[in-house]
Amino acid sequence: GILSDDGVLAAALWRNMFNRQCEDPRQLELILEYVRKQMQFIDTLDGEDLLLTGEVKWRPLLEKDAQSILKVPTPTYNDAGL
């Protein structure tokens, strides 16, 4: 699954997202890269902010510079945590 190597994750995606019917391996590779990119992005988020807002602005499927992981701006809260 998600915490294992790319081969195991690709097999899980192939079974669960493609229902074992993916004729174009490039599609599987694209979704595999997307999942890994989102995992890397989530690792950059502040856990407290994530718990307070519950909002994630997901990265797009296709990017010009997919290697760049940018730190998300930290939200500003008032004294009530809003």
Q: Residue 34 domain-assigned?
A: yes
In a domain, 61, yes or no: yes
60-73 tens-digit pLDDT: 888 876 555 544 45
Task: Determine whether 13 is exposed, middle or buried from the number of CB atoms within 10 Å of its CB (0-12, 13-18, 19+).
Answer: buried
Radius of gyration of the chain (CA): 16
- Residue 81 domain flag: no
Domain of residue 65: give its range.
1-76
pLDDT > 60? residue 74: no
Domain count across the chain: 1
pTM score, two decimals? 0.67
Task: Return the C-alpha torsion angle 47, 49, 53, 58, nearest 10.
Answer: -70
Between residues 67 and 49, the one the model is more confident about? 49
